[in-house]
Amino acid sequence: MTLLTVEHLYTAYGAVKVNHNVSMTVGEGEIVTIIGPNGAGKSTILRAISGLLKPKQGAITFDGRNVTGLAADRMAGLGVVMAPEGRKIFADLTVRENLKLGAYARKDQSGVDADIELMESYFDILATKRDAKGGTLSGGQQQMLAIARGLMARPRILILDEPSLGLAPVMVKEVRSVVAAVRDKFNAAVLLVEQNASLALAVSERGYLLQHGQIVASGPIEELRESSLMRELYFGEQSAQAGE
């Protein structure tokens, strides 16, 4: 069943156009990735979906409801939750306080407490650092906190913007396992934006390749991996052949 549909999306910052005629879908419990070079407009799509940026044109439908231009807090209330690029945890608050803020819209206090325990049981570092200020955590630990904080809202779809950005290789592997767990353990779909093509292709079922603000290739991951554009952009085949 289709959970999220984006149709003919156009975005801009003032007079600067970013995305052009972007259409895509995410199904219930599906892991979908948007990949592309730096500056391709990937994060802008996520901002439009999550309500942080009002589209210039196009339609966004979530669970059969037209949510185009709906504010971010209302989108979160519907179950569309975003963990933004750069983690953006609250550095002066403790780990546990950060987790509680992730559930700010929930009224079921007993459920919130249970979910904090759940997050600490899955993300071990959050249990050992529960009273530490967020700003004292390493980059990888902050990323785990940012993802867990998003899950505290009990999203139907978790939007992850560059979760591996700036992380050491060992932590990139950890992010890979966590992305899969969001679907398998927390029953949420995932929309992932990644510049790290290897990570994105490893965890996702379908993908969209973005270039210059437009989708230039899409399909199941194996098909996307074999596309000529993907090979040119990420695997350097054209350059390699030119040098032969």
Average pLDDT of the residues in 147-161: 93
Per-residue confidence at 238, pLDDT binned at 50, 70, 90? very low
pLDDT at 139: 86
Q: Look at residue 235 in the predicted model and tell me its pLDDT.
A: 63
Q: How many CA atoms lie within 13 Å of 13's alpha carbon, on the beta-carbon side?
A: 8
pTM comes to 0.89
Residue 112 has pLDDT above 50, yes or no: yes
Rounded Cα–Cα distance for residues 208 and 34 (Å): 5
Q: What is the pLDDT of residue 169?
A: 82
Q: Is residue 211 pLDDT above 90, yes or no? A: yes
Angstrom distance (rounded) from CA 133 to CA 150: 18
What's phi and psi for 66, nearest 5 deg?
A: -75, 115
Q: Which domains does the chain have, with CATH numbers?
A: 30-53+71-207+214-242 (3.40.50.300)
Type of residue numbered 113: D
For the chain, give the DSSP string.
Answer: -EEEEEEEEEEEETTEEEEEEEEEEEETT-EEEEE--TTSSHHHHHHHHHTSS--SEEEEEETTEE-TT--HHHHHHHTEEEE-TT----TTSBHHHHHHHHTTT---HHHHHHHHHHHHHHSHHHHHTTTSBGGGS-HHHHHHHHHHHHHTT--SEEEEESTTTT--HHHHHHHHHHHHHHHHHH--EEEEEES-HHHHHHH-SEEEEEETTEEEEEEEHHHHHH-HHHHHHHS-HHHHHHT-
Residue 30: which pLDDT band, with cuts at 50, 70 and 90? very high
Is the confidence at residue 229, as pLDDT, over 60?
A: yes
Across-strand partners of 10? Answer: 57
